Amino acid sequence: MTSLIWTSDKPAKAGWYWWRGLGEDMDPLILYVDAVGYFQWPDGASQEVGLTKGEWAGPIVPPSED
């Protein structure tokens, strides 16, 4: 299993990613980034990845069926 590292680099491909904001008032989230670089916040609002301020880790590899 590969360890994930927090980085300010924005996701460049679709997939599930960890995201954490720069402040300490919010827990990290797992977000799905689509093929055109957008994701949805838990409240349903969508945003372009390039506009986020925070750190990303991923993409997260789905578990196997074994």
**DSSP string for the chain:** -PPP--BSPPP-SSEEEEEEESSSSS--EEEEE-TTSEEE-TTS-EEEGGG--EEEE-PPPPPP--
Position 21 in a domain: yes
pLDDT at 26: 83
Give me the number of domains the chain comprises: 1
Instruction: Decide if 29 is inside a domain.
Output: yes
Is 1's pLDDT higher than 70?
Answer: no
| Range(s) of the domain holding residue 26 | 15-57
Residue 4, in any domain of the structure: no
The answer to whether 19 and 59 have CB atoms below 8 angstroms apart is no
Predicted pLDDT at 66: 80
* 6 in a structural domain: no
Judge whether 27 lies within some domain.
yes
35 falls within a domain: yes
**Across residues 11-20, what is the average pLDDT?**
97
Specify if 40 maps to a domain.
Answer: yes
In this structure, is the dihedral angle defined by the CA atoms of residues 61, 4, 12 and 50, taken in order, positive or negative? Answer: positive
Model pLDDT for residues 24-64, shown as the tens digit of each residue: 788 999 999 999 999 999 999 999 999 999 999 999 988 89
